Amino acid sequence: MSNLKGRKVILHDMCLRDGMHAKKEQISVEQMVQIATALDEAGMPYIQVTHGAGLGGNSLQHGFAMASNEEYIEAVSSQMKQAVVSVLLLPGLGTMKELQSAYNAGARSVHVATHCTEADTSPQHIAYARELGMDTTGFLMMSHLSDATSLAQEAKKMESYGAHTVYITDSAGFMLPDDVTERVSALRDVLNPETEIGFHGHHNMGLSISNSIAAIAAGASRIDGSVAGLGAGAGNTPLEVFIAVCERMGIETGVDLFKTMDIADEIIFPLMDHIVRIDKDSLTLGYAGVYSTFLLHAKRAAERFGVPARDILVELGRKKMIGGQEDMIQDTAMTMAKERGLLTQ
């Protein structure tokens, strides 16, 4: 892929949003500011800051963070010298009123996220983000569940609603590089030249970096990741490693490699409750194509019902459970426990 020399990509750090999943939503405002300030100094152009589930995420189902989204966003954005603060919004969970509040607090970019076949739930939210003047991204989650042609049709819808960028989102860390190439190429064939394509990977199969490079080769210009990989499942694309690979290949990110490495080792790793890595359960997420956020939910269900988390995850993959169905994890584990004679009632 020597033809990528000189290619410019925009990086988007997720450790203060996707990383909330790995921290059970427990990152303080002070920690957010410390991490974001360091990322800003390293030249990170976009930093996502919200509850793990995005705007509207503070709830019994998704867990309660240590502060409101507005408090996090305002604290971080007020300290930024060059980085843009972004948010995640899932229509049906986050509202346009909450998007307005996030904007008022300092957010200037948004990922409007839908399941990969449900772009038609996003037109109002994308249009409103554009009305506010935000950098607006359509974010097609669990993209491995849709073939390339169908995914391109959904991306075209998001573009028609006003999205500046459309993301292929490998929420399960399931895709192989050829899968990414096929999908990015399909989007590039139908989207307007000025519409950017992004890729959001997870490291459950160890392929997030190679998949991100494949995305760039096929025409993507925005890449999500997380310093030290802090995120759901085995984590997001570890940005300090990805930046090093980009430098070797001549891909220009504009982000300081050594500063990013220092943030990973000196700030993020000491913050982790558990080492975010590929273990048997996170590997199962990628192998079975399960939403990465389900990992800790499945582990809690395993402790409660005595069914191995890996078995629960495989069953969730068989059922093709998607983001937003977290409540079904407990139900699935309970049913499996009954079938195995682990519950008498």
Q: Is 72 annotated as a binding residue?
A: no
Nearest 5°: phi and psi at 113? -105, 130
Q: Is 115 annotated as a binding residue?
A: no
How far lies 48's CA from each of 235, 280, 286, 291, 297, in Å? 15, 28, 24, 19, 23
Q: Is 62 a catalytic residue?
A: no
Closest by alpha carbon to 32, among 70, 58, 89, 82? 70
Q: Is 17 annotated as a binding residue?
A: yes
Interatomic CA distance for residues 78 and 157, integer angstroms: 34
- Six token digits for residue 331: 């139900």
Per annotation, catalytic residue among 21, 62, 144, 203: 21
Q: Is 18 annotated as a binding residue?
A: yes
Q: Count the helix, strand and coil residues of the chain and give each as a percent rounded to the nearest 5.
A: 50, 15, 35
Contact 32, 85 (CB under 8 A): no
Interatomic CA distance for residues 257 and 240, integer angstroms: 6
Interatomic CA distance for residues 46 and 224, integer angstroms: 9
Taken in order 121, 123, 127, 130, is the CA torsion positive or negative?
A: positive
Name residue 100's amino acid: Q
Q: Is 200 annotated as a binding residue?
A: yes
Q: Is 164 annotated as a binding residue?
A: no
**Which contacts qualify for 27-30: CB closer than 8 Å, 24 or more apart?**
27/65, 27/66, 27/271, 28/66, 28/67, 29/66, 29/67, 29/71, 29/72, 29/75
How far from chain centre, in Å, is Cα 27? 17
Catalytic residue positions, numbered: 21
Annotated binding site: 17-18, 171, 200, 202, 291
Annotated binding site for substrate: 17-18, 171, 200, 291
